[in-house]
Structure 1
């Protein structure tokens, strides 16, 4: 207990007071933490920007929306760390929530970039989302749309084949009907048109 008080005192001294004279270190009941009003973290910034993108309270759209999603892509360094030696339930739940928000933002940003004919950003965002989550059907469909717009038929085929393999191996499942129909429309339909024209 003496060591704890000594450490808290040194921590308060090192961080110094806030501009309005409050302490950055808070002690409440049996908990010790940092005053969130004066601490900037990548997690907090990620949460703020993703709320702006997904909640769309500010009406962000077009190039501004794409820019926000690119910022999120820069901030997100992978799944949230789960510390050892404690109950991981909270951290695992937060990891899933943050990853889901990230994928939602990558999909929204890629779609917005497609609307702006910004293929470079659309591809970047779609592939960033795929690197973090290969199993989500909406992410796969988004990437298929992006690859189609870029004329990358081979990438659509490889993505869909890899997705089918993953589902078969991991959950003994098959792609959702919407994903299968999109694939047929983008790849098989195009191939049939080429054969008819010949």
Structure 2
């Protein structure tokens, strides 16, 4: 089996400035209701929800089984850009989709996605995540366990490569914060490894300010 490392540089260097939203009523589909109940739908939210359907190939299967280009086009349309990237011993096909400021990137090995990210997006969500909820997270929690507590991250990246599976995620909406709040989490082998937050306030502070 050839070895490679995915070269998609993802969330922590990506800007969230310029995320826009519209004040359209939420469409009552199962997916959108879960993410934006009682809120307004963000611009290009359908792309963010479609991103959850992107599958990555698995090393045990020689990285086959990930979403193909045709499947990605079914989710996001025709890519705006294509290039070939060197990754260790192999070449990866890198595709980019853009919709206003929202950017979706994917890297494919033999027509199987091995890395994908979505950036410059933010849900329109009422605050529900306090400092205490963040402090309830712990290392080793799975990505699903975290999203069950916090909801879907606004921007996310995921990749597989030889000996590694990584997810990076950022929450900027739905936070109780005085200004500029953010949660950044990293998962390795589907276990939470690093977590940082900026600007979250406690339930006590939320109650005081209401």
Q: Structure 2 length normalisation: TM-score?
A: 0.27
In terms of fraction of residues, the more strand-rich structure is: 2
What is the TM-score when the length of structure 1 is the normalising length?
A: 0.29
Task: Give the structure with higher Rg (CA).
Answer: 1
Structure number with the higher helix fraction is 1
